[in-house]
């Protein structure tokens, strides 16, 4: 009795072409291209009375190359000898864990991702002598962004704090509230530098006060009037998402100081001003 077993293997050739993207103290980011080709290989074993008496291999033609953008994250251990090995974390801009989007190439040293999206890389290390914690972060975009392009000049909207494009993209088409929201964030910027008077972003003296610029923004925005309930709800969602992005950006930067708040408010205001045109 002769039994034939057929094994179909898909062989992949996988090459990475690295190009440096950004230098960091704790880690390095490289953009790469993975070039993948496939071919089918069929192996037939001829078995007689339980013994293999022959093997036949058929190889199919190699496929055309497919290029996939890959981002490589490499830990730089020797750059900061005073620090212990950094903890590397990956998350989305909204602060959701994104470790599953990154494949471990070398444990605790090298990761790669080809899953399209924008991610934040967080590195935390402790100084061996002073025990001070040092944090670094970087934003990377892998492949093409899964977010749909918003209408209009979104590419020209500043997005250093990762709120500009979001503010632009998710804002409802509501001219009067676009103007109100933009003006509110512009005024908030001015308060931080004392115009017409100073407000704070947080205080131990109590935050539920108009002296708190974040409370002031919230009060201004929630007092808006909308044409429809649905539109009002869209603005509510806009505020929720913007606030989440602001929190995520604070986490990504080791110190979020008043100039960062000023720039964040400015980025939102500019985006809404552009959107209202």
Partner 1 sequence: MSDLKRGVLGYRIDLENRDELRNSGYEPTVLLRACKDQLPKRNHIGKAFPLLKLLNQGNQGACQGHALALIFSICFYLMSGRVKNFSRAAAYYLSQKLDGISGDHGSTLSAGKKVAASGLCLEEDWPYPLRYDPLRPASATVDKFVYKLKTTKAFPKTEAGLQLMMEWLREGLPVQIGVFWNQSCDREVVTNYTWSNRDGGHSTVFWLFANENEVHNNNSWGLWNQDGIHSWTLAAVRQAFFCESNDFIGYAPDGIEVPDLDPITP
Question: Which residues lie near partner 1 (CB under 8 A)?
Answer: 133, 135, 192-205, 211, 213-214, 217-218, 242-243, 246-247, 250-251, 254-259, 261-262
> Of 35 and 211, which CB lies nearer to partner 1 in the complex structure?
211
Q: How far is the CB of 246 from partner 1 (least distance, A)?
A: 6
Q: Which of 152, 74, 147 is nearest to 113 (CA)?
A: 74
> Of 141 and 216, which CB lies nearer to partner 1 in the complex structure?
216
Q: How far is the CB of 134 from partner 1 (least distance, A)?
A: 10
Q: How far is the CB of 265 from partner 1 (least distance, A)?
A: 10
> Of 36 and 220, which CB lies nearer to partner 1 in the complex structure?
220
Q: Which of 91, 95, 138 is nearest to 240 (CA)?
A: 95
Are the C-beta atoms of 201 and 207 separated by less than 8 Å? Answer: no
Q: How far is the CB of 141 from partner 1 (least distance, A)?
A: 23
> Of 115 and 262, which CB lies nearer to partner 1 in the complex structure?
262
Are the C-beta atoms of 5 and 15 separated by less than 8 Å? Answer: no
Q: How far is the CB of 70 from partner 1 (least distance, A)?
A: 31
> Of 111 and 238, which CB lies nearer to partner 1 in the complex structure?
238
Are the C-beta atoms of 116 and 92 separated by less than 8 Å? Answer: no
Q: How far is the CB of 268 from partner 1 (least distance, A)?
A: 11
Torsion of CA 47, 49, 53, 58, to 10 degrees: -10
> Of 76 and 244, which CB lies nearer to partner 1 in the complex structure?
244
Q: What is the Cα–Cα distance from 166 to 94, expressed in whole angstroms?
A: 11
Give DSSP secondary structure letters for 44-90. Answer: EEEEETTEEEEEEEEE-PPPPPEEEEEEEEEE-SSS-TTB-PPEEEE
Task: Provide the 3-class DSSP secondary structure of residue 264.
Answer: helix
Are the C-beta atoms of 100 and 119 separated by less than 8 Å? Answer: no
């Amino acid at each position: 009795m002769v039994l034939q077993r057929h094994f179909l293997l898909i062989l992949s050739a996988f090459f990475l072409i690295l190009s440096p993207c950004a230098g960091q103290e704790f880690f390095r980011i490289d953009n790469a291209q993975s070039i993948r080709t496939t071919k089918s290989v069929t192996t037939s074993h001829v078995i007689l009375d339980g013994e293999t008496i022959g093997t036949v291999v058929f190889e199919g033609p190699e496929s055309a190359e497919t290029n996939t953008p890959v981002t490589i994250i490499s830990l730089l251990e020797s750059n900061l000898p005073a620090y212990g090995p950094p903890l590397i974390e990956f998350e989305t801009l909204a602060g959701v864990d994104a470790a599953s989007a990154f494949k471990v190439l070398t444990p605790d040293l090298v990761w790669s991702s080809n899953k399209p999206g924008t991610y934040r890389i967080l590195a935390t290390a402790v100084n061996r002598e002073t025990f001070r914690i040092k944090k670094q972060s970087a934003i990377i975009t892998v492949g093409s962004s899964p977010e749909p392009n918003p209408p209009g000049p979104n590419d020209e909207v500043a997005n250093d704090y990762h709120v500009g494009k979001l503010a632009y993209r998710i804002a409802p088409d509501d001219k009067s509230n676009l103007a109100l929201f933009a003006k509110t964030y512009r005024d908030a910027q001015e308060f931080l530098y004392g115009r017409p008077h100073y407000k704070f972003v947080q205080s131990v003296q109590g935050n539920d006060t108009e002296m708190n610029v974040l409370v002031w923004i919230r009060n201004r925005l929630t007092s808006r009037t909308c044409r429809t309930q649905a539109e009002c709800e869209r603005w509510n969602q806009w505020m929720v998402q913007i606030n989440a992005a602001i929190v995520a950006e604070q986490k990504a930067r080791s110190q979020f100081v008043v100039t960062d708040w000023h720039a964040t408010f400015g980025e939102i205001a500019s985006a809404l001003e552009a959107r209202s045109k």
